[in-house]
Structure 1
Amino acid sequence: MLKALFFDMDDTLCDTQSANQKAVDWLLAELASHGDFDHEVFISQYLSAIYRELDDQLKQLTDPIKDESDYRHFVFDYFLKQHQIEPNDALMSYVALFDHKRIEFFDFYPGVKQMLIDLRSQYKLVLITNGPAYSQVPKVEQVKMSEYCDHVLIGGLEPEQKPAKSIFDKACRLADCLANETLHVGDSLGSDIKGAKCAGIKSFWILPEFTEFSAVNPESDYVADSVLHIDKVLELEAQAHHA
């Protein structure tokens, strides 16, 4: 019988992609008066770097940089120079401003707040999010996550992030449950679904391109296009428990 539910945050409970796009649109408008270069390509390169999608050369250059703010300033400067633009104070100020806009636009998907309120009356809820504290702490604070979840685990503040078993084990300890008494919900196959499986935890994979709920899937126990289908998951779990 399930006693707890674990949730990923970005693109599971919260609409990170929409927040990013709104921030990108804002930055595009701001950069319009800052030189004749391909602003869309530049922003795409910078956003990819934020998510550590780097080529070998840039990875080697940035590996020694441990501070997240320093890292973001470095790659912003790097890509400006790649576009033959000399960085200046006005341009570099957009590093912090872009971060601020991403947080300002960050919010739950419609219906998720009430879903969490309802679920919390029956289960212990634990958020497990990957990423540096630099970006994830402001996101958690922006949506007041502690008002909706009993515990919040930020990967960048833990010894290991998902898919490491240790962070799932810690979530189980916090929720006072066994691995077979919880379910993890997330959108990343590598971090969420495979991580949960290695920890002996059932999983619910949020796959936006999926068109209907299914309990038949080779990768996860359940799959759907939205976390709001969790009621179907819990109904099936209850039926299995009483069978």
Structure 2
Amino acid sequence: MAAEGTGVRLSALLFDLDNTLVDTAGASRQAERQVKDLLISQHGYEESVADLVIEKFNTKLEKEHPDPSTKIDIDEERTLFLELAIRETNRHKPDLDLAKQCYFLWKRTRLQHIHIPEEVKAMLMELHQSYKLLLLTNGSSSVQREKIKVCQCQQYFDLIVVGGEHPEQKPARSIFQECFRLLGVKPDACVMIGDNLKTDIEGGVNAGVRATIWINNNNGKPDGESTVPDYTVKSVLDVKDILENIKCKG
């Protein structure tokens, strides 16, 4: 929970990327629709079968945990996920060409729909006048760096830390400690802002940040084992008002 009266000035904000600053889930849905249309219109798939291919692909993505010590090509790995999803669904022989066609359509469409909204950009620029800003995002280096590039994140943040480039990702304390070191601040001078209770909120709490802000844009319901955030908002645009509240308590 928020530390009150620490005597340390609030000076840094740690932002998550996916589904905090950018609507990655929405971009993924757009990409899935394109793949579904391709399977149905060009390859004769029934709608229910195309839906199952996408469901199996997403299940494999959710279990994906890239090891930064290995040199796995993420595009090759995800193409394999789609090839397996197609084979498991249709009981067909492996079709690498179809898997590649579907995967790169999915990837291209998703990147086209990933962007930081203009009002969020304006908020970041305003906050940057008063705070150090650090982007802390989990995921493989290549995938996250592509998103960071298309969103032009560099202009809004002092530092960008990608979990897949470090030995441990959120919620590990070590990656938060690395962020504090890079920023040159103490944990209780920082606020962690993100949409994931496990990685962002629990990670921030365990690392000793001043406060955590949960972006609950899907009306999620924490379970009994979830770490309780200090503040909950529906939109990242509500963060400015929360920061004023934190400063008043500080």
Q: So what's the TM-score if we normalise by structure 1?
A: 0.87
Tell me, in whole angstroms, the C-alpha distance in 1 between the residues paired with 2:45 and 2:182.
53
1:110 shift after superposition: 5.1
| Conserved? CA contact 1:15–1:109, under 8 Å | no
Post-superposition CA distance 1:58-113 (Å, at most 9, x none) = x9xxxx99432232122211111112233142443222231121111111245211
| 1:156 pairs with 2:167 | no
From the superposition, tell whether residues 8 and 218 of structure 1 become closer, same or farther in structure 2 (CA, over 3 Å): closer
Q: Distance in 1 between matches of 2:145 and 2:59?
A: 20
- CA pair 233-112 structure 1, distance change in 2 beyond 3 A: same
Question: CA-to-partner distance for each residue in 1:187-235, whole Å, 9 max, x for gaps?
Answer: 1111000000110012101112449xxxxx9701111111111112111
Change (3 A) 1:75 1:111: same
Q: 1:225 pairs with 198, 216, 234, which one?
A: 234
Distance 1:179 1:91, change over 3 A: closer
Residue number in structure 2 paired with 1:50:
61
Does the C-alpha gap of structure 1 residues 227 and 206 become closer, same or farther in structure 2, counting only changes over 3 Å?
same
What is aligned with 1:78?
Answer: 84
Q: Report whether the alignment pairs 1:123 with 2:134.
A: no
Number of positions where the alignment pairs a residue of Structure 1 with one of Structure 2 = 227
Identity %: 30
Any stretches of 5+ residues in structure 1 without a counterpart? 54-58, 212-216
The answer on whether the counterparts of 1:12 and 1:227 sit within 8 Å (CA) in structure 2 is yes
Aligned equivalents of 1:117, 1:48: Cα separation in 2: 37
How big is each residue's C-alpha offset from its partner over 1:163-194, in whole Å with a ceiling of 9 and x where there is no partner? 01111111111222110001000111110000
Q: CA RMSD in A?
A: 2.2
Matches within 5 A, 1:36-185: 36-37=45-46, 38-52=49-63, 66-82=72-88, 83-86=90-93, 87-109=95-117, 111-185=119-193
Which stretch of structure 1 is more off in the superposition, 187-196 or 17-26? 17-26
- Say which SS state the counterpart of residue 229 (structure 2) adopts: coil
Give the partner amino acid of 1:48: T
User: Of the two structures, which has the highest relative contact order with CA contacts closer than 8 Å and spacing of 6 or more?
Assistant: 2
